[in-house]
Chains A and B, each alone.
Chain A
Amino acid sequence: MSVLSKPVDVRTVVRCAMFAALIAALGLLPPIPVPIIPVPVTAQTLGVMLAGAVLGARNGALAVILFLGVVALGFPLLSGGRGGLGVFFGPSAGFLLGWVAGAFVTGVLAAASECKFPRLIIACLVGGIGAVYAVGIPWMAVAADLTMVQAAVASMVFLPGDILKAVAAAVATRAIRRGYPAAHP
């Protein structure tokens, strides 16, 4: 319950809601087909990494939880117009829950990065890919009765797009922190 030990003030609520809405709005963008990469890249996980890197670990994770809460209520805000409780019961639901861990880990590492660019990229890679896959792949292995290796292989189609997004998130985070220093958690 360490997340809840600090009282939540108005600004925190509004910031988390704003970033949850940002993650939703990024899902409204049509998926971008990128040459060489087999699946179209959606911008939604970019919002997850930004939430962690800009808002910090705790608030970034809260923003993702809020976003998932709104999806669970029945609003079709996941990319591709998916929503409702169904998305939390499929074999790829672990990746959605992994977003919470992803935003948190990105936030922890980004706060320690002192805004140095290579460290920000590492923060987005480890948080936005490492932590997300660390939840998503075991979930898929259990839900679809695969071995971990098979689940990992099946997830690899998303890796190139996620790497592009992690770099984009790091570039954007550095620019945002320069342009709005008060955003620093």
Chain B
Amino acid sequence: MTIGVYVPGASALHRASPGVKLIGLAAFAVCLSLTTNLALLAALAVGLLLVWGSADLGWQRLISSLTLLKWILVVMFVFQFLSGGLLAATELMLTICALVSAAALVSFTTRTDDMLETLQYAFSAFARFGLNPNTVAFALVFVIRLVPFVATVGREAIEARLARGGGRNPIPALVPMVIRLMRETDTLSEALVARGFARP
């Protein structure tokens, strides 16, 4: 699976187990949210930058994962500046940026398969509540498999509407699209049952 956000690499962070990285991320998030001292925050942020540098991902990825937030950051900064002043606003920006980039760092350095395996392991704790970890893993992988299929059905529904003289508006095409998806769902379920997937 190569369509995820994972960036291949051989750094220590790439080689660390996903469970360790997830626990580290959670610990980092707790530290960040408990800290209100600017110096301490800056130290945490510098630490994160060092780890980022060691992962050999390039700084462009750090910038682009933060620019996705730019509008919301501008709004937050303005509100916070008006109510709490420059210091509070800077602290907030630093916290949010550090939190988001730390989480992005875990995703950049963890293969989706490994993440799935870890999730499956974590979910085995819920098995006693009737939640089968294999079913969860199957469903997640199935979603990824179905995305291109759904996109194709959608394209065909829009093209069919164009052929009938309709416009390019995707909303009217949504109805035949979903109806066809529901029919395919029934076929897929039967196919799965026929292959012994009776009781997940």
Residues on A with beta carbons closer than 8 Å to the beta carbon of B115: 72-74
Indicate which residue in A5, A15, A66 contacts B140 across the interface (CB closer than 8 Å): A66
Q: How far is the CB of A152 from chain B (nearest CB, A)?
A: 12
Could you tell me if B189 and A88 are in contact, using CB atoms closer than 8 angstroms? no
A interface, size bucket: 35 or more
User: Residue among A11, A22, A67, A73 with the most chain B CB within 10 A?
Assistant: A73
> Helix, strand, loop or mixed for chain B's interface?
helix
Indicate which residue in A8, A25, A70 contacts B135 across the interface (CB closer than 8 Å): A8
Indicate which residue in B25, B136, B143, B154 contacts A85 across the interface (CB closer than 8 Å): B25
Residues on A with beta carbons closer than 8 Å to the beta carbon of B107: 74, 83-86
> Known: A4-B131, A54-B178, A172-B174. Is A91-B150 also a contact (CB below 8 A)?
no
The complex places the Cα of A95 from the Cα of B64 at a distance, in Å, of 22
Instruction: Count residues on chain B whose CB falls below 8 Å from chain A CBs.
Output: 70
Q: Mark A3-27, 1 if CB is under 8 A from B, else 0.
A: 0110111110111111011101100
Could you tell me if B5 and A84 are in contact, using CB atoms closer than 8 angstroms? yes
Indicate which residue in A16, A72, A172 contacts B175 across the interface (CB closer than 8 Å): A172
The complex places the Cα of A12 from the Cα of B150 at a distance, in Å, of 17
Q: Mark B64-88, 1 if CB is under 8 A from A, else 0.
A: 0100110010011001100110001
Could you tell me if A69 and B140 are in contact, using CB atoms closer than 8 angstroms? yes
The complex places the Cα of A89 from the Cα of B186 at a distance, in Å, of 37
Indicate which residue in A17, A150, A175 contacts B142 across the interface (CB closer than 8 Å): A17
The complex places the Cα of A110 from the Cα of B72 at a distance, in Å, of 33
Residues on A with beta carbons closer than 8 Å to the beta carbon of B103: 84-89
Indicate which residue in B130, B174, B189 contacts A7 across the interface (CB closer than 8 Å): B130
Residues on A with beta carbons closer than 8 Å to the beta carbon of B185: 11, 14-15, 18
Could you tell me if B171 and A144 are in contact, using CB atoms closer than 8 angstroms? no
Is A29 engaged at the interface, CB distance under 8 Å to the other chain? Answer: yes
The complex places the Cα of A10 from the Cα of B144 at a distance, in Å, of 17
Could you tell me if A144 and B4 are in contact, using CB atoms closer than 8 angstroms? no
Could you tell me if A74 and B6 are in contact, using CB atoms closer than 8 angstroms? yes
Stretch at the interface among A96-104, A111-119, A176-184: A176-184
Could you tell me if A86 and B65 are in contact, using CB atoms closer than 8 angstroms? yes
Residues on A with beta carbons closer than 8 Å to the beta carbon of B72: 90-92, 144, 154
The complex places the Cα of A154 from the Cα of B80 at a distance, in Å, of 12
In the complex, the chain B residue whose C-beta lies closest to that of A25 is B150
Q: List 9 A-B contacts (CB under 8 A).
A: A8-B200, A21-B143, A21-B150, A74-B6, A77-B147, A168-B174, A179-B175, A180-B183, A182-B182
Which residues of A does B touch, CB under 8 Å?
1, 4-5, 7-11, 13-18, 20-22, 24-25, 28-29, 43, 46, 50, 54, 66-67, 69-70, 72-77, 80, 82-92, 143-147, 150, 154, 168, 171-172, 175-176, 179-180, 182-183
Which residues of B does A touch, CB under 8 Å?
3-6, 25, 29, 65, 68-69, 72, 75-76, 79-80, 83-84, 88, 92, 96, 99-104, 106-108, 110, 112, 115-116, 119, 129-131, 135-136, 138-140, 142-144, 146-147, 149-151, 154, 170-171, 174-176, 178-179, 181-186, 188-189, 192-193, 197-198, 200
